Amino acid sequence: MKPPQYRLTEIRAFYRANLALEVDELTIASGHLHILAGPNGSGKSTLLGILAFLMKPGHGQIAFAGTQVDWQRNQLASLRKQVTLLHQHSFLFSGTVFANVAFGPRARGMAKEDVQRTVGEALAMVGLDGFESRNARHLSGGEARRVALARALACQPEVLLLDEPLAHVDKESAQIIETLVISLSSRGTTVVMSSHNEQLGQRTESRVIRLLDGKVERIVEDNGQAPGRAVDGYRYAKL
Amino acid sequence: MGFIAESFRTALSLIFSADQDVFAAVRTSVGVAAWSVLLAAVFGIPVGLGVGVNQFPLKRVVIVVLNSLMAMPTVVLGLLVYGLVSRQGPLGGRGLLFTPNAMVIGQTLLAVPIVANYTLSVIKGADSRIVPTALTLGAGSLRSMMQLTREVRFGIMAAVIAGFGRVISEVGVAMMLGGNIRWYTRTMTTAIALETSKGEFAFGLALGIILMVVSFSINILLTFMQESHQP
């Protein structure tokens, strides 16, 4: 049996001495879409930072694909090549769109021809074919978000983490991103995305993890039933 | 007024006649300053990056020391290096005193804190998302640092130019470690100081004009490069 993508045990994360996240036990299955829901300050971004191995929790254990994470430099370098986080306010490097999208493949030592092809494919997936030579700093907000997503996709990650990918983007970009996320998870990529929009769970086959005050308040599975708990006010149906 | 105008005319004539003494001093100045600032960049930029990015005990102390070293009097620095390279000093056997190499050592030490401090300021002001973005795209620590450097390259260039401005215009180190030897260690600043005191005002003025032109040209070039690469 395939081990879960992540298993978090007794995780405690602190932000300036304040407890920002307190997760006793959380399992994230591989190859599924998981939506982190909850209000501002509920710990969504902190959890994503930990899942991306960018933030070491103050306490607790994480197993990734069955392997215990020791937070040592060598292991982190390897893990970060399997997991890519798209930040809420994504930063595009100075230079062209191509240079941005090619960053991950180049960091992985991909051959030049493969980089060209991967970049082209990733941009096509987000509907930005032909944007390669555009200056990354001259894009609209929606285009910039899609380039950042293409850059994450070009890394061909095992796990894609998305922090509020649908916030502050135009309708067209939001539609493209949502469709892409659903498509990726259906093809076996583990996707964890945070969103204020809990209705997204109604439109997608996903598992919703609702956080409140840094704790997992409830988990709603694909069939809309929170295990062992009532799901008042929340109905998440399969597509 | 007539004295200044006459000296100015003589100075221009020295410049346009490519006076050997004038241009030997210019070559030495620019050469020593260029080597010094290159070495200062090699040492100072990593120091600024390291201090700016990493959290470690005594970080504040290191920053205070770097800041204090920026105000180091050049004559005192020249004196300290003189102690090292003079015949009785630990590096005395290498025959460095009164050579351009000794001047490079002194001016490098002068410029390192300047380059490091300016780099540190640039890093502090850099977008905090650069390194996490690079890391999450699979870059290692070194590649992330290189990307950070690339993103703030114009700020770092300004740091290097500030170091260049400092070393090309200083007198203390050049005088104490170079000795103002004609056609060998005589720089524009040492020549201006000494020749003017000997009454050769026009000669000093000629070098002063060139010194200003060199300094301004580098700053204009930097400004042009920064503006033409602005996103």
Say whether residue B86 is in contact with chain A using an 8 A CB cutoff: no
For position A234, what pLDDT does the model report?
30
Residue A195 lies in a domain: yes
Number of domains into which chain A is organized: 1
For position B18, what pLDDT does the model report?
85
B residues 139-168 lying closer than 8 A (beta carbon) to A: 139-141, 143, 147, 150-151
Fold entry, domain B28-187:
MetI-like fold (1.10.3720)
Q: pLDDT truncated to tens, each residue of chain B (231 aa)?
A: 688 888 888 888 888 888 898 899 999 999 999 999 999 999 999 999 999 999 899 999 999 999 999 999 999 999 999 999 999 999 999 999 999 999 999 999 999 999 999 999 999 999 999 999 999 999 999 999 999 999 999 899 989 999 999 999 999 999 999 999 999 999 999 999 998 999 999 889 999 999 999 888 877 887 787 777 655
To the nearest whole Å, the CA of A72 is away from the closest chain B CA by 13
A residues 21-40 lying closer than 8 A (beta carbon) to B: none
Q: Which of B19, B111, B20 is nearest to B69 (CA)?
A: B111
- What CATH number is associated with residue A83? 3.40.50.300
Say whether residue A56 is in contact with chain B using an 8 A CB cutoff: no
Residue A207 lies in a domain: yes
Which residues sit opposite A21 in a β-bridge?
Answer: A13
To the nearest whole Å, the CA of B61 is away from the closest chain A CA by 22
Contact B148, B131 (CB under 8 A): yes
Is pLDDT of A237 > 60?
no
Q: Which chain B residues have a beta carbon less than 8 Å from that of A77?
A: 140
Say whether residue B226 is in contact with chain A using an 8 A CB cutoff: no
Confidence of residue A10 (pLDDT cuts 50, 70, 90): very high
pTM: 0.82
C-alpha–C-alpha distance, residues B152 and B160, integer Å: 13
- Phi and psi of A13, rounded to 5°? -125, 140
For position A225, what pLDDT does the model report?
44
Q: Which chain A residues have a beta carbon less than 8 Å from that of B138?
A: 80-81, 84, 104, 107-108, 155
DSSP structure string for B61-105: HHHHHHHHHHT--HHHHHHHHHHHHSTTSTTGGG--TTSHHHHHH
Q: Taking residues A179-199, what's their average pLDDT? A: 87
Q: What is the mean pLDDT of chain A?
A: 87
Q: Which chain A residues have a beta carbon less than 8 Å from that of B134?
A: 103, 107
Say whether residue B225 is in contact with chain A using an 8 A CB cutoff: no
What is the extent of the structural domain holding A79? 6-88+156-238
B19's tokens = 């006076």
Q: Do B138 and A108 touch (CB under 8 A)?
A: yes
Q: Which of B127, B133, B142, B230 would you mutate first to test chain A, the one with the most A CBs within 10 A?
A: B133
Confidence of residue A105 (pLDDT cuts 50, 70, 90): very high
Q: Which of A103, A153, A156, A162 would you mutate first to test chain B, the one with the most B CBs within 10 A?
A: A103
Least confident of A105-119, A173-187, A196-210, B208-222: A196-210
Residue A221 lies in a domain: yes
Residue A113 lies in a domain: no
Contact A154, A102 (CB under 8 A): yes
Say whether residue A74 is in contact with chain B using an 8 A CB cutoff: no
Q: What is the pLDDT of residues A36-84, one digit of tens each?
A: 999 988 999 999 999 999 999 999 999 999 999 999 989 999 999 999 9
Contact A151, A103 (CB under 8 A): yes
C-alpha–C-alpha distance, residues B215 and B211, integer Å: 6
For position A201, what pLDDT does the model report?
65
The ipTM, to two decimals, is 0.85
Q: Taking residues A6-22, what's their average pLDDT? A: 92
A38-75 per-residue burial string, b: 16 or more CB within 10 A, e: under 16: beeebbbbbbbbbbbbbbebeebebbbbeeebeeeeee
Q: Which of B54, B137, B154 would you mutate first to test chain A, the one with the most A CBs within 10 A?
A: B137
Q: Which chain B residues have a beta carbon less than 8 Å from that of A192?
A: none
Residue A28 lies in a domain: yes
Residue A20 lies in a domain: yes
Q: Which of A54, A87, A93 sits opposite B151 (nearest CB)?
A: A93
